[in-house]
Amino acid sequence: MTGEQKREVTAHVVRQEYLTGDILDLVLETPLAEEAKPGQFVDLYCPDSSRLLPRPISICDVYAGNVRLVYRTVGSGTREFALLKEGDTVRMVGNLGNGYDLNTAKGRHVMAVGGGLGIPPMKLLMKRLHSLEGDSRPASLTTVLGYRDSQSTFLDQEFDGYGKVILASDDGSVGIKGTVLDAIREAEKSRNERPEVIYACGPMIMLKAIGAYAEEKGIDAYISLEERMACGVGACLGCVVKTVRKDGHSQVNNARICTEGPVFAASEVML
Amino acid sequence: MIDLSVELCGISLKNPITCASGTFGSGIEYSEFVDLNRLGAITTKGVSAVPWEGNPTPRVTETPSGMMNAIGLQNPGMDVFINRDLAFLKDYDVPVIVNVCGHTVEEYLEVAERLSEEDGVSMLEINVSCPNVKEGGIAFGTKAEALEKVTKAVKAVSKKPVIMKLSPNVTSIPEMAKAAEAGGADAISLINTFTAMKIDIYRRKFVLANRTGGLSGPAIHPIAVRMVYEAAHSVKIPVIGMGGVASAEDAIEMLMAGASVVAVGMMNFHEPAVCVKVIEGIAAFLESNRISGVSDLIGCINS
């Protein structure tokens, strides 16, 4: 049995607090913390037994035996999680998915791009990239974070230690006015900064734009996808994405987001 | 000594619990959570002659105490299934029931004939009840005449026992069960999922890309028990009962309704080791009620 085996655990709630009106910061004590990789996710089960499917939530950070999840209350299941408090327990399965391959950052100018709920997984990614040593180190780290407005910012203060941070918001009330793509193009135009590899997570429209930008500039982009899931472990084939090439597991142009993903090379998937 | 074993089509199972097709892959993924040797049998996801793409996404959605799916029988085809999935299962001491799907009778026969020749295959379950593919599938499973015909044809080519998997989307379960029996089926399994629909009222769109999907989970369990009872009381061949089984109590209900074997489906997604929990619960029930074996539970209802 390797330490990376997926398993079901009962995690203990260390604390939970609101970061904005509907974004929560949940810290869970679980042995899964030790093995978690940036870009992976966990499946949380609802206490209410009428809601049977797990909720996939990306891992935001890990430290000292704790997994930190930053999520939004979007439905009845996540509203149940919002009620969890210190001392409660929650059943979960982890660690799921492939995560980002840190080797692709070696010696390169790296840009991590998070939009909205795609921001949390960028935290552990940048922390790990920043801690790499010797030949494995990236040449530079830049974080680009996109928000709706100044009222909806969260985690924006947490990337300062890892390199340059660029903020963007739809209404311009924080950072650059526009999308993360506008911010990336602005950095290139005014300061001649262009990444050699992009890691991105966010809404589909943003991931499509990142993919198109990366293709236009001939740079590598790795994007983290989401889809409605059932089992979370690769058995049900509910969460697939169309792939450019025939997938080795499925033998068709479909890959399982929960297992072959959620991180894919942008050039390999058809969004 | 508690005896959990049962016999199905001449094959001895350690206990009456298997997984429902499509909820357990070929066991590879769940082997990280469950010792597959603990199961009475492994029932695989549907296998077709060539790889199938399945439906567009979204393919799944949650419903109260259940879920809907419209995967569309995506699978890698029988060659990869034999070389990878069946090869993986050969390391386990557990009978394998392979679920067979096709668009045409010829496709069913091609897959059934080939798979039934494999040593690692104990039985075939013929999927004539998938509500999520346009051709084949349910078209054969909702008309008694067509069901009897396809059963006969599969029986003629199969070297292993044949289980016909029935749809609940019919007017009369006994009629369909009898048709499968008349066609020579060695057993029947039921129920597949109920054709259902969910609408996103804010976007005014169907939630599933396929518009409709199959409803499963504990929400449908009482209907499944009724249908298993009806089927078991209209034929002499054994019945594999399934539909929202979440606990040992649910499985025992199925046995008492007349099922010889019980499959656990959607609840694998809720609790990866649920099959083992159900098996242990059945053993505990037998012990505390001083019942010597599972066979004493099958069809035993006081009336």
pLDDT digits (tens, 9 = 90+) for B100-138: 999 999 999 999 999 999 999 999 999 998 777 766 667
Model pLDDT, residue A1:
40
Q: Is the pLDDT of residue B1 over 80?
A: no
Nearest CA in chain A to B68: A230
- Going by C-alpha positions, the residue among B80, B272, B248 that lies closest to residue A251 is B80
Partners of residue A238 in chain B, C-beta under 8 Å: 57, 59-60, 69, 71
> Mean pLDDT, to the nearest integer, of B198-206?
97
Distance CA A231, CA B60 (A): 10
Active site residue B130: yes
Answer whether A236 sits within 8 Å of B272, measured CB to CB.
Answer: no
Distance CA A129, CA A38 (A): 10
Q: Where are the beta strands (DSSP E) in B186-255?
A: 187-190, 194-197, 199-200, 205-206, 212-216, 239-242
CATH number of this structure's domain B6-54+73-193+217-296: 3.20.20.70
Percent of chain B with pLDDT over 70: 99
Q: What is the ipTM of this complex?
A: 0.94
Strand partners, A175: none
> Mean pLDDT, to the nearest integer, of A7-29?
97
Q: For A53, which of B57, B62, B74 is closest by C-beta distance?
A: B62
Looking at this protein, which amino acid is placed at residue A127?
A: K
Average pLDDT value for chain A: 96
- Check residue B20 and report its DSSP letter: P
Nearest CA in chain B to A44: B270
Average pLDDT value for chain B: 96
Q: Is the pLDDT of residue B303 over 80?
A: no
Distance CA A102, CA B228 (A): 53
Helix (H) or strand (E) holding B91: none
Looking at this protein, which amino acid is placed at residue A199?
A: Y
Strand partners, A89: A12
Annotate A37-88 with DSSP letters as a single string: -TT-EEEEPPSSTT--SPEEEE--EEETTEEEEEEE--SHHHHHHTT--TT-
Q: Distances in Å between the alpha carbon of B236 and those of B10, B30, B124, B180?
A: 15, 34, 19, 11
| Residue tagged active-site, from B9, B19, B101, B130 | B130
Determine the residue among B48, B69, B270, B277 to mutate to test chain A binding: the one whose Cβ has the most chain A Cβ atoms within 10 Å: B270
Distance CA B129, CA B139 (A): 8
In chain A, the N- to C-terminal Cα span, in Å, equals 36
- Check residue B104 and report its DSSP letter: S
Distance CA B100, CA B127 (A): 6
Q: Is the pLDDT of residue A171 over 60?
A: yes
Report the Cα B229 to chain-centroid distance in Å.
16
Do B71 and B18 form a contact (C-beta atoms < 8 A)? Answer: no
- Going by C-alpha positions, the residue among A87, A94, A121 that lies closest to residue A226 is A121
- Quickly state the pLDDT bin for A87 (edges 50, 70, 90): very high
> Mean pLDDT, to the nearest integer, of A200-204?
97
Torsion, Cα of A210, A211, A214, A216 (10° steps)? -110
Q: For A50, which of B23, B60, B64 is closest by C-beta distance?
A: B64
Strand partners, A55: A44
Model pLDDT, residue A48:
87
Q: Is the pLDDT of residue A46 over 50?
A: yes
Classify A136 as helix, strand or coil: helix
Do B57 and B132 form a contact (C-beta atoms < 8 A)? Answer: no
Looking at this protein, which amino acid is placed at residue B154?
A: V
Which residue is it, tokens 């769109």? B205
Looking at this protein, which amino acid is placed at residue A124?
A: L
Burial of B112 (0-12, 13-18, 19+ CB in 10 A): buried
Partners of residue A74 in chain B, C-beta under 8 Å: none
Chain A: nearest CA to B45, how far in angstroms? 9
Nearest CA in chain B to A53: B270
Do A226 and A55 form a contact (C-beta atoms < 8 A)? Answer: no
Tokens of A176: 């650059």
Model pLDDT, residue B131:
74
At residue A3, what are phi and psi to the nearest 5 degrees? -70, -10
Q: Which strands, in side-by-side order, build the sheet including A269-270?
A: A254-256, A240-243, A269-270
Distance CA B270, CA B280 (A): 18
Model pLDDT, residue A198:
98
